[in-house]
Amino acid sequence: MSGRIVSREDPVQSERHSEAGSVAPPSKVGVPPRKNAWEEFKSVVNETFFSDQPLRHFKDQPKRKKVALFVQGLFPVFQWGRGYNFSKFKGDLIAGLTIASLCIPQDIGYAKLANLPAENGLYSSFVPPLVYAVMGSSRDIAIGPVAVVSLLLGTLLSQVYDPVKEAEEYKRLAFTATFFAGVTQLALGFLRLGFLIDFLSHAAIVGFMGGAAVTIALQQLKGLLGIKNFTKKTDIISVMRSVWSNVQHGWNWQTILIGVSFLVFLLATKYIGKKHKKLFWIPAIAPLTSVILSTFFVYITRADKDGVQIVKHIDKGINPPSLDKIFFHGDNLTKGFKIGVVAGLIALTEAVAIARTFADLKDYEINGNKEMMALGTMNIAGSMTSCYVATGSFSRSAVNYMAGCSTPMSNIVMACVVLLTLELITPLFKYTPNAILASIIICAVIGLIDIDAVILLWKIDKFDFIACMGAFFGVVFDSVEIGLLIAVSLSLFKILLQVTRPRIALLGKLPKIAIFRNILQYPGAKRIDGILMVRVDSSIYFSNANYVKERILRWLADETEKLKDQSLPIKVVVIDMSPVNDIDTSGIHAIEGLYSHLQKKEIELALANPGPVIMEKLLAANFDKLIGEDNIFLSVNEAIKTYAPNAALDP
């Protein structure tokens, strides 16, 4: 049947035509040449893994050019570095210095959030940004530790080791998790499996991020209020119980004064920067300014002797090697792998979302798989140099973008400033109060709560809103991992719901034109007497095939009930197949079952506009012989021309 065209020589049809008068023969449905098994397999693989045609630039190029293109593809620095000039460097220098002033205090705070020494946070803004600058394709993303991943790591790692009593094992497990987070990201990029992270829906991410922001802010009450004995649980009930149980003797008024004062200052500068975009640098330098002022205040007043908790010590010097500290065998290998996979996927989701956002703003393209490979490589390198999981930070990336960065060179500038900080300035952080770090983190995570997005979810899709709230309350009232589990589960449930219950529309004909549309969307669309017209808005697979058949039969029963007192009952069911992209064996069996059911009721079945894949599979199953080749039409209007010529119009 390959290449065969549907004919119209059936005697029943000829009789219809003679009764209805002279009717032009319907247009014929074309059938593409049939592919062999290898061609079909190759087509599926190409569309799944190589839809962006990564090798298209290599076509018809000399060998030397191919080598150059390969190197540029693997290390984009050789691409943007060729046209680099002093004008671009000025923008990158200003942007790099600006995000460095923001990242240094944040890194110290985020390290504490992950229950790691402060220097590990700074280490994570030195080596990973340098690696990313060489391999990354985003011009605007700023690399370093982030609040959500830090909290996730701190929560998961502390379930295995106590970060205080077993500090060395805890740190080693953190490096192990970072290594496997990088391996996960690199593998997804190399195997071109980046589409897997899209299974975590935007709604679930909004809820998860919002819940994590609330949880992080609640955790900072320990530092903001000066509480020493604080719960290790992260749910809101345990945290609030711990806060109020310490109200009599656990709160420190000097700490509260420092923390609240600078929190108000940080929020005020953030408000100024939001209202006046040109003043973006004010909220960018506000955290470092707050650290300097609060540290100076504590030092001259010796408030640490009155109970104000301080950083005390940050190791001086650049990243020490840590390859020998990674667990490559034993139970800790499995534990580190599990934690690393989860942390790596969350970090990857955040980074890719940020990179795409700013790429759209500047109208340039990023390669998702290359981004994953860059992120994976930098985290593997980071795990070997005393870093923990780094990714793209939205707050720092936004500052980087507004500061006028041109290339990833801004990450190199930031890393150089962090290097100078590690070599020269870390002793000055000794008297930095924990309260100011808590204030900086609270101010930073507030931006993760996107109220506007939640309102939009409610307006557009109620199920998305439920998924968002489920993830949010899961994090807030239980734990980060439960919230993440709820987010993933609800995302997958939505996919299953849409796959198993596709939309099927009942069609009517619009007045005076040969167009057929959903009668719910177009109340003016009229049904054709004696014909039931439906449209399946999905591929037909084993998961939804029976539902499609039963839904059409239910509509048929409803319409038959309505028309039982009329002289013209339903004689034909026309299925518009134009939105159906694919069909499997179960789908064909379901359509065959529908045909058999209709035959018993002396009702004909017609298909309209099946696509090339559908037509090829129908022919392979000999369905055209079962239904009759003359019952497969180019369009719904062609079917109406045959079955109800007086109701049809020429398009």
82 inside domain: no
pLDDT band (50, 70, 90) for residue 57: low
Question: What pLDDT, on a 0 to 100 scale, did the predictor assign at position 350?
Answer: 87
Domain boundary among the residues 492, 514, 540 is at 492
- Checking if the pLDDT of 316 tops 50, the result is yes
Question: What pLDDT, on a 0 to 100 scale, did the predictor assign at position 47?
Answer: 64
14 inside domain: no
51 inside domain: no
16 inside domain: no
Residues 152 and 182 in one domain: yes
Domain boundary among the residues 458, 492, 526 is at 492
Please count the structural domains in the chain. 2
Select the more confidently predicted residue: 646 or 411: 411
Kindly report, residue by residue over 95-114, the tens digit of the pLDDT: 999 999 989 999 999 999 99
Q: What is the mean pLDDT of the chain?
A: 86
- Checking if the pLDDT of 339 tops 60, the result is yes
Question: What pLDDT, on a 0 to 100 scale, did the predictor assign at position 527?
Answer: 85
Mean pLDDT of 345-359: 87
Mean pLDDT of 347-375: 86
Kindly report, residue by residue over 74-91, the tens digit of the pLDDT: 788 888 888 889 889 999
36 inside domain: no
Residues 113 and 158 in one domain: yes
CA atoms of 167 and 516, how far apart (whole Å): 69
Residues 473 and 570 in one domain: no
11 inside domain: no
18 inside domain: no
**In whole angstroms, how far apart are CA 442 and each of 17, 214, 250, 312?**
77, 9, 21, 21
- Checking if the pLDDT of 382 tops 80, the result is yes
CA atoms of 635 and 104, how far apart (whole Å): 64
pLDDT band (50, 70, 90) for residue 27: low
Question: What pLDDT, on a 0 to 100 scale, did the predictor assign at position 585?
Answer: 92
Mean pLDDT of 172-196: 90
- Checking if the pLDDT of 650 tops 60, the result is no
Residues 442 and 362 in one domain: yes
Domain boundary among the residues 446, 461, 492 is at 492
Residues 485 and 532 in one domain: no
Residues 464 and 557 in one domain: no
**In whole angstroms, how far apart are CA 317 and each of 321, 322, 382, 403, 561?**
12, 14, 16, 29, 83
List the domain range (segments joined by +) for residue 521. Answer: 504-649
Kindly report, residue by residue over 516-556, the tens digit of the pLDDT: 898 889 888 888 888 999 999 889 989 899 999 999 999 88
**In whole angstroms, how far apart are CA 553 and each of 560, 563, 610?**
10, 15, 20
Residues 123 and 202 in one domain: yes
Angle at Cα 128 formed by Cα 93 and Cα 267, nearest 5°? 60
What percent of the chain clears pLDDT 70, i.e. is strictly above it?
89
- Checking if the pLDDT of 647 tops 80, the result is no
Residues 509 and 388 in one domain: no
The residue to which tokens 């991410």 are assigned: 205
Residues 544 and 459 in one domain: no
| Residue 647: both structure tokens together | 């109701």
- Checking if the pLDDT of 40 tops 80, the result is no
Residues 110 and 249 in one domain: yes
Question: What pLDDT, on a 0 to 100 scale, did the predictor assign at position 17?
Answer: 43
Which helix (H) or strand (E) covers residue 576, if one does? strand 572-576
pLDDT band (50, 70, 90) for residue 122: very high
Residues 575 and 511 in one domain: yes
Residues 459 and 540 in one domain: no
590 inside domain: yes
pLDDT band (50, 70, 90) for residue 71: confident
Mean pLDDT of 461-469: 90
